[in-house]
Amino acid sequence: MDPESGVEPELLTVVKLGGAAITHKHAFETLNQEVLQACARLLAALHRQLSCSTEDGGSGAPARLVVVHGAGSFGHHTASQAGVAHGGIAASPAVRRGFADTRASVTRLNHLVVSALLAAGVPAAGLSPCGAWTTRQRRVASDGYAAVAGLLAAGLVPVLHGDAVLDEELGCTILSGDLIVGRLCERFRPPVVAFLTNVDGIFDRPPEQEGAQLIARLEVDGTTDAADSSGSSSGSSSICGQSSSSPASLPRLAAYAADGSRVSSLQTAAAAHDTTGGVATKIREAAAVACLGAEVRIASAGEPSAAAACSPAPLPAGWVGTLVKCSRSIGGCT
């Protein structure tokens, strides 16, 4: 039991709803209603399941679920146009206005996500990072742990989101929901973490490319070969301590297809307006979280695999997605 939050870590699940899944990423501020509703139903069932697993059947017990969502078409366009991720808020009225517009955009989306969850029966409480969460050179400097723990203890499901935040050196930046997941996992140590997005998982190359192959298992092991990340340097950096780093490189990984064969390379791409590094950031955070001892599952939000990805139960045979595991769980990064 964590004395601060009153939450049993082994019962907690963290779910990231990818902006690419719950919005139409290339259509400005457009929700993907169908996928959002499906996620809301899934999370309602998960919340009931996690609550019922407590001794008193959930009445008066802390909530066991934290939801974080990305921005998709609600934030990246605005942030990208004003260059918010690069900082300079003190000197530039344009960045300042872009920061404010980005926050207005992502909080609009947060309202829509929270509304969908409430309608599905989840006691969801929106919680914006800006303010409590700050960065230093884009790495998380301070987090809003106390607020998240307080909501959980009150039986509420916190719903955080990628946000524009103040950076101690740059002035401001964009904090990805994926990095928020990474920091929450350092704090809460959940056994299962799910990243739901708009594709089946991590592929050996951008999934729209011909011949793209789904990676069934990504193993994080400091002794394996480096994977490549197009548009960035090759990932030979160590994994621990990377969870809040800039989106420059991938950690060392070994990738396997569903038939167990080794996948030799891993290339990623991100949309030009993506201000947080796209899927490469997700891979890095997933690896860091796996390194903390969690089982990380990446799956498509709109597909049946999403429910299994979020459940604390072992994955069923035939599950479609990417499982990220650490072969040398170290129980914490210093």
Ligand X SMILES: Nc1ncnc2c1ncn2[C@@H]1O[C@H](COP(=O)(O)OP(=O)(O)OP(=O)(O)O)[C@@H](O)[C@H]1O
Ligand Y SMILES: C=C(C)CCOP(=O)(O)O
Strands 192-197 and 295-300, sheet pairing: parallel
- The stretch near ligand Y (CB under 6 A) out of 71-79, 151-159, 196-204, 252-260 is 71-79
Q: Shortest gap between Cβ of 298 and ligand X (angstroms)? A: 8
Structure tokens at 83: 């260059």
Q: CA separation (Å) from 22 to 17, 190, 200, 238?
A: 7, 24, 14, 32
Q: Shortest gap between Cβ of 86 and ligand X (angstroms)? A: 18
The number of beta carbons lying within 10 Å of the beta carbon of residue 105 is: 21
User: Which residue of the chain is nearest ligand X when measured via CB?
Assistant: 70
Interacting residues of 261 by C-beta distance below 8 A, sequence separation 6+: none
Q: CA separation (Å) from 313 to 56, 207, 240, 266?
A: 20, 28, 27, 29
Residues 231, 135: Cα–Cα separation, whole Å: 24
Please tell me whether residue 251 binds ligand X under the rule CB under 6 A.
Answer: no
Residue that the structure tokens 């209603």 belong to: 33
Question: Out of 110, 173, 197, 275, which residue is the one contacting ligand X (CB under 6 A)?
Answer: 197
Question: Out of 205, 221, 246, 312, which residue is the one contacting ligand X (CB under 6 A)?
Answer: 205
User: Residues touching ligand Y: how many (CB under 6 A)?
Assistant: 17
The per-residue DSSP string of 259-272 comes to TSPEE--------T
Kindly write out the interface string for residues 1-20 of this chain, putting x where it contacts ligand X by CB under 6 A and - elsewhere.
-----------------xxx
Residues 275-304 that bind ligand X (CB under 6 A): 276, 278-279, 282
Residues 133, 139: Cα–Cα separation, whole Å: 10
User: Taking a C-beta distance cutoff of 8 angstroms, is the pair 192, 311 a contact?
Assistant: yes
Kindly write out the interface string for residues 51-90 of this chain, putting x where it contacts ligand X by CB under 6 A and - elsewhere.
-------------------xxx------------------
Residues 155-184 that bind ligand Y (CB under 6 A): 162-164, 174, 176-178
Q: Shortest gap between Cβ of 161 and ligand Y (angstroms)? A: 7
Please tell me whether residue 202 binds ligand X under the rule CB under 6 A.
Answer: yes
Q: Under the rule (CB under 6 A), what is the footprint of ligand X?
A: 18-21, 70-72, 177, 197-199, 202-203, 205-207, 267-269, 276, 278-279, 282
Q: Under the rule (CB under 6 A), what is the footprint of ligand Y?
A: 19, 70-71, 75-76, 79, 102, 106, 162-164, 174, 176-178, 275-276
